[in-house]
Structure 1
Amino acid sequence: MIRFVLTRLLLLAVGLLVASALIFFTLRILPGDVAQVIAGTQSTPEQVAAIRLSLGLDRPILVQYGDWLGGLLRGDLGSSLITSSSVADELAEKAQVTVPLAVFSLVIALLFSVPLGILAAVRRRRVSGTVVSFVSQGLAAVPAVWAGLVLIAIFAVWLGWLPPQGFPLDGWEEPGRALQSLVLPSLTIGIIEGAVLLRFIRSAAVEASGEDYVRTAAATGMTRTRALITQGMPNVALSVVSVLGLQVAGLIVGAIIIEQLFSLPGIGRMLVSDVGNRDLTKVQGELLALTAIVLVIGTVVDIVHRLLDPRQRETA
């Protein structure tokens, strides 16, 4: 097991290195000049050249990448080319919105997808199971923006229970208002991602219910539902853990879109703004941070999968 963990950590390090190179060099291919953005439209070529020199943008691209990579190894994501502020500090500030949004969305997705997925599997030949399957399939196809607009219309405009947009200026110093601001965005992401997860759970539960050990447990006097929950859930849990690793990427993409819709000052909204401003240092730091989150969670999923499945340990 130790060797497996060390191998996964090594692959994680290699993945981050490859991701950093792809992000850095891809951003340099994009059209536009950050020096021109800083200087303004009325600037002279000499002024633009002076800004490029002061920012180090005139150096060879490999030298620029080496400097950025050296900073990453020291835990330094660099500074904004436009505001000179620390990228790491701004990411930490914006993460106070994005991380709770992703966590709340994941909790909402699990709260309704796990029980309803099992219900849809147990009652798959009844009306209730068919309805759950049909509704989940429809929700999984709903665009996040449309779902968010519907929730705003119902809970903010019609009922007036929740704020439609924004986040408190004092942040989490006003926890009540901050939580209220995240309810609708979290519901928007959680419902859609939960509908996708529900379908996987239903499929895994249906497959597990046909296994011999579940039928044997039912033959000993257990109900079909109890036999599935007590004997089949370990296999269902393996599928859930695997899918959750993929769902994280969906949560991150959903957060970027939803932060725009609900005017949340999170990482996604900052990323869109920095791309428009051609602030390459901030953009590459933000993209690398998001990529690192996905890769780390993927590594954790692999390790948890190995811990939950004794067959993999025996094979190893």
Structure 2
Amino acid sequence: MLRYALTRLALLALGLVAASAIIFVSLRVLPGDVAQVIAGTSGSPEQVAAIREGLGLDRPLTAQYLDWASGIVTGDLGTSYLTGTPVSAELADKAAVTVPLGAMSLAVALAMALPFGVISALRRRSWGGQAIGFAAQGLAAVPVVWAGMMLVAVFAVALGWLPAQGFPTRTGWSTPWQAFESLILPAVTIGVVEGAVLLRFVRSATLQAVGADFVRAAAAKGLTKTGALLRHGLPSVGLSVVTVLGLQIAGIIVGAVVIEQVFNLPGIGRMLVADVGARDLEKVQGELLALTGFVLVTGFIVDLVHRAVDPRQREEAR
């Protein structure tokens, strides 16, 4: 297990290095000039050149990348060209919205996928099980923007139960109910769409577990099919869920970037879109690296958990 963890850790480090290089180079080939943005439309070529020199943008790309990469090692993601504030500080501030939103979305997805996925598999020949499977297929194809608009129309506009947009930026989580309330609709929007995708994996894993020899043997000894599955088959279903959980978390992050625009939430996704438009490359590359790093670290943790709890992989390692 230790050898496997060290190997995966080395791959994680290589992945982060590759991601940082790709992000840095990709942003440099985009059109536009942050120096021109700072100088404004009336800025002369001399002023733009002076700004570029002051920001270090006139140096070779290799030198710029090495400076940025060396700062990453110490936790310094750079400084915004436009505001002059550290990127790490702004990420930490916006994470107070994005991280709870992602956690709530994951909770909604799991609460939806696990029970209904198992029920749809056990009742696959009944109208109820078929209805669940059909609904999951439909919800998985729904664009997250459209789902958010529909939920706003029903629960915010028609019923008035929840706020349609915004977040208490002045008070933040010091007013926990207001903060939590503002994230309910965005979290449900992401969670339902991602949960529909996860439900199909749970259903497939449950069907495989029901047909497994050890579940059939338990049922032959007097347990009902449901009882045999709950007692002996759920661990294998859990392993399947863990396997795809990394992909689901990545989907939740992508959904958060979009949903923060729809619900006007001051999170990392909304900040990223604004910084791309402003050509604040230093912030954008720090934000992209932080999101990419989170996805890679999540995959690393999921792989370790899967390796630790899957007896088949432990036997193969021996």
Q: TM-score, normalised by structure 2?
A: 0.99
What is the Cα deviation at residue 225 of structure 1?
A: 0.8
SS of the equivalent of 1:77 reads coil
State the match for 2:196 in structure 1: 195
What is the Cα deviation at residue 75 of structure 1?
A: 1.1
State the match for 2:107 in structure 1: 107
* Range with greater deviation from structure 2 (304-313 or 93-102): 304-313
Distance in 2 separating the partners of 1:265 and 1:229: 42
What per-residue deviation string (whole Å, max 9, x for no partner) do you get for residues 82-105 of structure 1? 111010000000000000000000
Look up the equivalent residue of 2:264 and give its one-letter code: S
What is the Cα deviation at residue 228 of structure 1?
A: 1.1
Distance in 1 separating the partners of 2:138 and 2:74: 47
Alignment of 1:102-141 (within 5 A): 102-141=102-141
Distance in 1 separating the partners of 2:308 and 2:67: 39
For the pair 1:306 / 2:307, whether they are aligned, the reply is: yes
Percent identity of the aligned residues? 64
For the pair 1:168 / 2:168, whether they are aligned, the reply is: yes
State the match for 1:291 in structure 2: 292
State the match for 2:255 in structure 1: 254
Look up the equivalent residue of 1:188 and give its one-letter code: T
State the match for 1:226 in structure 2: 227
Look up the equivalent residue of 2:91 and give its one-letter code: L
What is the Cα deviation at residue 143 of structure 1?
A: 0.7
State the match for 2:58 in structure 1: 58
State the match for 1:41 in structure 2: 41
Look up the equivalent residue of 2:125 and give its one-letter code: R
SS of the equivalent of 1:281 reads helix
Distance in 2 separating the partners of 1:171 and 1:274: 22
Distance in 2 separating the partners of 1:118 and 1:20: 40
What is the Cα deviation at residue 173 of structure 1?
A: 1.3
What is the Cα deviation at residue 295 of structure 1?
A: 0.2
- List alignment gaps of at least 5 residues for structure 2: none
Alignment of 1:8-19 (within 5 A): 8-19=8-19
Distance in 2 separating the partners of 1:35 and 1:140: 43
What is the Cα deviation at residue 64 of structure 1?
A: 0.2
What is the Cα deviation at residue 306 of structure 1?
A: 0.5
Distance in 2 separating the partners of 1:279 and 1:230: 55
What is the Cα deviation at residue 156 of structure 1?
A: 0.5
What per-residue deviation string (whole Å, max 9, x for no partner) do you get for residues 22-71 of structure 1? 00011001011010010001110000000001000000000000000110
SS of the equivalent of 1:142 reads coil
Please report the RMSD computed on the Cα atoms of aligned residues, expressed in angstroms. Answer: 0.6
What is the Cα deviation at residue 215 of structure 1?
A: 0.5
SS of the equivalent of 1:241 reads helix
SS of the equivalent of 1:47 reads helix
- List alignment gaps of at least 5 residues for structure 1: none
Distance in 2 separating the partners of 1:126 and 1:226: 19
Look up the equivalent residue of 2:272 and give its one-letter code: L
Look up the equivalent residue of 1:195 and give its one-letter code: A
Look up the equivalent residue of 2:229 and give its one-letter code: L
Look up the equivalent residue of 2:9 and give its one-letter code: L
State the match for 2:157 in structure 1: 157
Look up the equivalent residue of 2:152 and give its one-letter code: I
For the pair 1:31 / 2:47, whether they are aligned, the reply is: no
What is the Cα deviation at residue 79 of structure 1?
A: 0.3
Distance in 2 separating the partners of 1:196 and 1:229: 22
Number of positions where the alignment pairs a residue of Structure 1 with one of Structure 2: 316
Look up the equivalent residue of 1:128 and give its one-letter code: G
State the match for 2:70 in structure 1: 70
Alignment of 1:254-293 (within 5 A): 254-293=255-294
Distance in 2 separating the partners of 1:85 and 1:160: 38
Distance in 2 separating the partners of 1:111 and 1:49: 55
Distance in 2 separating the partners of 1:7 and 1:212: 34
What is the Cα deviation at residue 305 of structure 1?
A: 0.7
Distance in 2 separating the partners of 1:92 and 1:188: 24
Distance in 2 separating the partners of 1:311 and 1:204: 16
Distance in 2 separating the partners of 1:239 and 1:314: 18
Distance in 1 separating the partners of 2:153 and 2:196: 21
Distance in 1 separating the partners of 2:252 and 2:229: 29
Distance in 2 separating the partners of 1:243 and 1:6: 22
